[in-house]
Amino acid sequence: MVKVSPSILSADFCNLERDIRRVSCADWLHVDVMDGAFVPNITIGVPVVQSIRKCTDLFLDVHLMVDKPVRYIDSFCKAGADLLSVHLEADHPTRITDALRAMEANGVKKAVALRPITSARAILPYIEQLDMVLVMTVEPGFGGQKFMEGQLETIREVRALIDKYNPSCELEVDGGVGPGTAERVIEAGATVLVAGSAVYGTQDPASAIDSLRRAN
Ligand code: DX5
Ligand code: ZN
C-alpha cells in the first residue's frame, strides 16, 4: 500500500500541534520549507521543525525548496528531520552531491526533488544512493494548485529508472494529489503521496488519508 504524507502547509499554523494530531494515522508528515528565492513564497524554517519534532513521532519528510540547500542540511538534520529532499535545480551538481553526503553523515534519509521542467534523467547521477525521488506535479511554492497531467509521464519515467537502478527507492509525488488524481499517480508508479488541501481541506483528515491509501 502507498504511504500518505500530509503537507502541513495546508494546516492552521495557529493550531499546528492540533493539526498534526489530526493526521496522526498518516505514514509520514510533509514539511514544506520555502526561502522566498528558490520559490516565491516563505514558509517554515529550522526552529519550527525543531518544535514539530517535539510534538510528534511521525516520520518527518522535509521538502527543502531553498537555493543552495547544502548550507542548511546539518541544521535541519539536527532539528529532527528523518528525510530531506533537495531540488536538483537549486545548485550545481557537485554541491547537490555535497548535500547528499551531509545527509548521509547525519544518518538522515536522502532524496532529490524535480520541478516539472526537469527531466527524469536528471536523477541518473544520484539514483543509486537515494532513498527517495520527489516528483513535483505543480510548480513548487503554493498548496492548492491544479495537478499537471503531463507529469504522469515523468512519474512513469522515474519509476522505470528506479526499477532499473535502485528498486527499493521511494517515489513521492507532490502537488494537486487528491481523490481525482491519486489513482493515476499510483498507477504511474508512486509509493508516497503528499497531500495538503486534499487532507486538511476536508472535515475528516483521517478518512481522507485512508481513502488516498486505498485509491488504487
Ligand atoms: C508545494 C508544496 C506541496 C503542497 C501540496 O510547493 O511542495 O507540498 O503543500 O499541496 P496540495 O496537496 O494542496 O497541492
Ligand atoms: Zn512539498
pTM: predicted TM-score of the whole model, two decimal places: 0.98
- Split at pLDDT 50, 70, 90, the class of 185 is very high
95 in Cβ contact with 63 (< 8 Å): no
DSSP string, 4-48: EEEBGGGS-GGGHHHHHHTTTTSSEEEEEEEBSSSSS-B---HHH
Integer angstrom CA distances of residue 175 from 72, 92, 134, 141, 201: 24, 25, 10, 10, 14
**Average pLDDT for residues 61-72, to the nearest whole number?**
98
CA 161, 166, 167, 171 torsion-angle sign: negative
**Average pLDDT for residues 13-24, to the nearest whole number?**
98
**Average pLDDT for residues 144-150, to the nearest whole number?**
98
Specify the ligand 1 atom closest to the Cα of 140. 6
pLDDT in the model for residue 211: 97
| Helices vs. strands in the chain: H and E counts, helices first | 8, 8
Cα–Cα distance for residue pair 151/148, rounded to 1 Å: 6
CA 174 to ligand 1 center in whole angstroms: 6
Please determine, for residue 216, whether its predicted confidence score (pLDDT) is greater than 90: no
**% of the chain at pLDDT higher than 70:** 100
**32 catalytic residue (yes or no):** yes
**Average pLDDT for residues 165-176, to the nearest whole number?**
98
Pull the grid cell for residue 89: 535545480
**Average pLDDT for residues 198-205, to the nearest whole number?**
97
Strands, DSSP E only, in 71-158?
83-87, 109-114, 132-136
CA 163 to ligand 2 center in whole angstroms: 23
**174 catalytic residue (yes or no):** yes
Specify the ligand 1 atom closest to the Cα of 196. 12
Closest to 149 (Cα-Cα) out of 134, 137, 165: 137
Please determine, for residue 187, whether its predicted confidence score (pLDDT) is greater than 90: yes
pLDDT tens sequence across 103-142:
999 999 999 999 999 999 999 999 999 999 999 999 999 9
Specify the ligand 1 atom closest to the Cα of 145. 14
CA 150 to ligand 2 center in whole angstroms: 18
pLDDT tens sequence across 76-102:
999 999 999 999 999 999 999 999 999
Which one from 19, 27, 32, 91 is the annotated catalytic residue? 32
Across all residues in the chain, what is the average pLDDT?
Answer: 98
Closest C-alpha residue for ligand 1 atom 7: 140
CA 168 to ligand 1 center in whole angstroms: 24
Please determine, for residue 72, whether its predicted confidence score (pLDDT) is greater than 90: yes
Give, for ligand 1, the residue of 19, 32, 64 to mutate: max count of ligand atoms closer than 8 Å to Cβ.
Answer: 32
Q: How many CB atoms lie within 10 A of CB 20?
A: 18
Count, residues in the chain? 216
- The SS3 assignment for 103 reads helix
Closest-lying ligand to the alpha carbon of 200? 1
CA 54, 200, 84, 132 torsion-angle sign: positive
pLDDT in the model for residue 60: 98
Strands, DSSP E only, in 55-195?
59-65, 83-87, 109-114, 132-136, 170-174, 192-195
pLDDT in the model for residue 67: 98
